[in-house]
Amino acid sequence: MIDNKLDIAQIRKDFPILKRKVNGNSLIYFDNAATSQTPKQVIDTIVDYYSNYNANIHRGVHALAQEATEAYEGARIKIQHFFNAAKKHEIIFTSGTTHSINLVANGFTAFIKKGDEVLVSAMEHHSNIVPWQMLCERTGASLRVIPMSKEGELSMASYRDMLSNNTKLVVCNHVSNALGTINPIGELIELAHKVGAAVLIDGAQSSPHIKVDVQQLDVDFYTASAHKLCGPTGIGMLYGKEEWLAKLPPYQGGGEMIAEVTFEKATYADLPYKFEAGTPNICGGIAFGAALDYLNSIGLETIEEYEHELLTYATAKLQTIEGVKIYGTAAHKTAVISFNIQGIHPYDMGTLLDKMGIAVRTGHHCAQPVMDYYKIPGTIRASFSFYNTLEEINQFITAVKKAKQMLS
């Protein structure tokens, strides 16, 4: 049973949106893999910024600019500590995981040539496929896919066989957004480094659920999005080892990322500003830091334990419903269940659940190759967070049964 470490009733009071009604029913929000909800503590931080010290950062000498700069750079340090980066300038603010991946993919144009190989897992989100396809198109390199099993687990034996001196980069998600699989990235990174390859890990789905230590992992690049971590949309981070970030060329040109500019040439600013052209999402960065403060106040280990209980409970309940097939049955998973019910289109099920106030995600989840592998158009995905409850799962199961009866 779930222990008493979490006061769920008190935690739920922190999230104003959980009080609202949808179609006359109390909202049950099971779409956390797409975006998490935002606590009042973070919302208050956003209001405070725009109410009291809204100003551009770094360049101003006036009080508001200095306050905004201090808060923004303070958030960078919070992110550094949250992921245990060695240095604060190894944290680059981006608009989110997609931006972070594209930044690296663009930079690697300088290090990839025809005959080189980029390895990518079979369970990636489109944002961790398309930028690498574009890189390979620009350079003539090859994109090779690490296969997975029917259970949704990477074939590490195949991966070992694929690695060679031609492998320059390995990219993989820490957790699959479509299946919930927790990939063995520690082993994946270690094996890649043995052949001299760099590794980028997409941490969008793992960072809200698993304590990540980038130094312990020895990962070259790691990404995260604030809106998966109880923060605002439009802000995220790229962690990169200093030696890699120093070598990569800038992704965008403009203000803030330069040291000196003449019409003949420009020299670039030091890290991290080399990759942060233009006025950033200042409020978003500050709120990102506030969201991490909130998660730290609860504890990632406590969150992970509780969410695993929710996953186990919901999985067992769903399996009692005739015709349910769960996709992604890996031994190690986060709180994501993708499933279908025989004879029912996932969109139809999702629509009826919404009528009952339950928010789930339906479709291919920006992971079409995963759906093609299973020969399905998509799935119904229920994804849980630490503010969800067993009672909500019970109501969800009742609603699924009712919708199934209506659609059968």
Note if the bond before 147 is cis, omega within 30 degrees. no
On the question of a common fold for 8-30+300-407 and 43-297, the answer reads: no
Residue 3's pLDDT band, with cuts at 50, 70 and 90, is very low
Q: What pLDDT does 387 receive?
A: 98
Query: Active site residue: 136, 172, 230, 366, which one?
Result: 366
pLDDT, tens digit, for every residue of 338-348? 999 999 999 99
Q: May I ask the CATH class of domain 43-297?
A: alpha beta
User: Could you tell me if residue 375 is left (phi over 0), alpha (psi between -120 and 50 degrees) or otherwise beta?
Assistant: left
Domain boundaries, the chain: 8-30+300-407, 43-297
Q: May I ask the CATH class of domain 8-30+300-407?
A: alpha beta
The mean pLDDT value for 174-201 works out to 98
pTM of the model: 0.96
pLDDT, tens digit, for every residue of 256-313? 887 787 888 888 888 999 999 899 999 999 999 999 999 999 999 999 999 999 999 9
In terms of Cβ atoms closer than 10 Å to its own Cβ (0-12, 13-18, 19+), residue 225 is: buried
Q: What pLDDT does 1 receive?
A: 38
- CA distance linking residue 5 with residue 2, whole number of Å: 8
Q: What pLDDT does 69 receive?
A: 97
pLDDT, tens digit, for every residue of 275-287? 998 999 999 999 9
| Residues contacting 134, CB < 8 A, separation 6+ | 105
pLDDT, tens digit, for every residue of 96-155? 999 999 999 999 999 999 999 999 999 999 999 999 999 999 999 999 999 999 999 999
Q: Is 172 in the active site?
A: no
Reduce the DSSP state of residue 241 to 3 states and report it: coil
Residue 379's pLDDT band, with cuts at 50, 70 and 90, is very high
